[in-house]
Amino acid sequence: METLSAVTESRSWPDGEVVEDLANLRQKVPLVHCLTNDVVNNFTANVLLAAGASPAMVVTIEEVEEFVRFAQALLINVGTITTSSAQAMLRAAAVAHETGTPWVLDPVAAGALKFRTGIVKELIGFQPTVIRGNASEILAVSGEAGNARGVDSTASSNEALDAAVGLASSIGTVVALSGEVDYVTDGTSIISIPGGHEIMTRVTGIGCTLGALIAAFLPVTPSPLRAATAASAVYAFAGEEAVKENRGTGSFAVAFLDLLSTIG
């Protein structure tokens, strides 16, 4: 409750800054280099295209360095990490760190599995601009005991808010905490983004693709806090609107992309 009282402000579409940021994204069409998981590759590309960005999945160790130098932003999502993709991710993160390319880390199921938890720790050494996760993942990454259960969170986002603030301030990043209400924090400000709908947890990759959209906003907004806020607010609005004529999870996902491609 102490932490909750510290929420600085609340933002939701059509907040003026968010509208401006989306217009800016559409005008600049940022190239977003995505190292993401096999389940959401297609949906991620379609979300970025719908919103107005340019996605590119360049994944092999021989190419990531070259492409990070070329892209405006990078997403690393460890959902279906493998022996070889882990090496490509570490290389990409190192280059992004060196070149100052803004990047988002999505530590899917960190804490629940040793191999990825170790890789995520190494990745964090390359200072992600934003870390996006659910409560269990943020608790795990911040060193608290998250009870991660696969990719779905078993802790609520309120419980993890303290951990998010601590993580953001200790490593100098922005944390985007997904849950019933989304929170975004840089360790000082805490912005809540209400909205969205429960059905968003029943379509695979809504969380993962939010990470990609945050990455797309990074090069076109004045701060990582604002980028994460804009992406979250656009998502929450699209989710709320898409559910209105919803007949189930299949048509919800279609309507969600329709909204992203026509909003603003």
Q: Which residues bind its own copies (CB under 8 A)?
A: 31, 37-43, 45-46, 49-50, 54-63, 66-67, 70-71, 79-84, 86, 109, 112-116, 149-152, 201-205, 247-251, 253-262
The CB-of-144 to its own copies minimum distance in angstroms stands at 19
Nearer to its own copies, 10 or 201 (CB): 201
Nearer to its own copies, 188 or 249 (CB): 249
Separation between Cα atoms, residue 203 and residue 144, nearest integer Å? 28
Nearer to its own copies, 100 or 247 (CB): 247
Instruction: Please give the structure tokens belonging to residue 112.
Output: 């629940």
Residue 207 Cα distances to 61, 235, 248, angstroms:
26, 10, 18
**Gyration radius of the chain over CA positions:** 17
The CB-of-113 to its own copies minimum distance in angstroms stands at 5
Buried b or exposed e, range 44-83, using 16+ CB within 10 angstroms: bbbbbebbbbebeebbeeeebbebbeebbbbbbbbbebee
Cβ distance 19 to 230 under 8 Å? no
The CB-of-92 to its own copies minimum distance in angstroms stands at 13
Nearer to its own copies, 8 or 42 (CB): 42
The CB-of-98 to its own copies minimum distance in angstroms stands at 19
256: left (phi over 0), alpha (psi -120 to 50) or beta: alpha
The CB-of-143 to its own copies minimum distance in angstroms stands at 20
Nearer to its own copies, 33 or 132 (CB): 33
